[in-house]
Amino acid sequence: MRTPVVAGNWKMNGTRSSVASLLQGLKQGLQPGRTEVLVCAPYPFLNQVSDALSGTPIRWGAQNASQHESGAYTGEVSVAMLQEFGCSHVILGHSERRALYGEQDDLVADKFCAVQRAGLVPILCVGETLEQRDAGDTVAVVEEQLMAVVDRAGIAAFADAVLAYEPVWAIGTGRTATPEQAQEVHAALRQRLAQIDESVANGLSILYGGSVKAANAAELFGCPDIDGGLIGGASLDAEEFIAICQAAE
Ligand code: PGA
């Protein structure tokens, strides 16, 4: 049985006080269950998040990390630093990083390896644009993004990783993929991995992301190859996020 995972991606949002009330709401409202729940916060809030969530079942992570260990990389944050703040997971290859900051498959693969070397869990994001979907290239695009990392890190690395399918056209747009559309891509990704190692493929949690909310979560999570969600906007609202976590149960 795969572990359901619900991860909040706060993106570049929050203040010390909004983060405090969000964390308070999550601590009070979230019922412990079998779902692994985590929040991926902006770097400056990691200390606050770790203070608030230590000793609770909620875990936390970051939204990016450097591929380098340390040194002259102005503005970058290393995996070792994230480790010091108790991060368990790091989102990598989010489509916003790919589109806005020019991150390509090679770099994402390097970051994936750096995160795993430190014993943290990478959440690798893949997804197609609307043009690519309309051209019928969805599966080819996401498989290429996935295989760039498999080729570098090896299939065994995916025994300790999470994969997230996030169609770019569904992110922050209010336009969710239908459960059928999402399931089709999730199944294709799992099948691609199963060609190399069936047991790794069967054990891998594949999350769906893109306008997930309390109202559509249960239907999405009910699909056989959807093992949870990566939640942007709705993760900033404690009640909404908790309802999504409950849907994963
Ligand atoms: P959204 O973002 O839930 O706001 O669409 C998801 C994501 O980008 O991870």
For this structure, is 89 an active site residue?
Answer: no
CA distances in angstroms from 104 to 70, 144, 155, 197, listed in the order given: 21, 11, 20, 25
Please identify, by atom number, the ligand 1 atom nearest to the C-alpha of residue 234.
3
At how many degrees (to 10) do helices 238-248 and 16-29 cross? 40
Query: Looking at the whole model, is its pTM more than 0.85?
Result: yes
Element (H, E) at 198: helix 198-203
Match 């999402």 to its residue by tokens: 182
Indicate the DSSP class of residue 123: E
The answer, yes or no, to whether any atom of ligand 1 lies below 6 A from the CB of 210, is yes
Q: Measured between alpha carbons, how far is 178 from 180 in angstroms, rounded to an integer?
A: 5
| Cα(41) to centroid(ligand 1), Å | 13
Q: Measured between alpha carbons, how far is 79 from 101 in angstroms, rounded to an integer?
A: 19
- For 170-225, the pLDDT digits (tens) are 999 988 999 999 999 999 999 999 999 999 999 999 999 999 999 999 999 999 99
| Cα(214) to centroid(ligand 1), Å | 13
Cβ atoms of 109 and 148 closer than 8 Å: yes
Q: Measured between alpha carbons, how far is 243 from 3 in angstroms, rounded to an integer?
A: 18
Contacts of 195 (CB under 8 A, 6+ apart): none
- For 135-149, the pLDDT digits (tens) are 999 999 999 999 999
Please identify, by atom number, the ligand 1 atom nearest to the C-alpha of residue 211.
5
| Cα(118) to centroid(ligand 1), Å | 26
Paired with 206 in beta bridges are 163
The answer, yes or no, to whether any atom of ligand 1 lies below 6 A from the CB of 177, is no
Cβ atoms of 88 and 121 closer than 8 Å: yes
Q: What is the pLDDT of residue 1?
A: 74
Q: Which of 94, 96, 103, 186 is catalytic?
A: 94
For this structure, is 128 an active site residue?
Answer: no
Domains of the chain plus CATH, in order, are 5-208+221-229+240-248 (3.20.20.70)
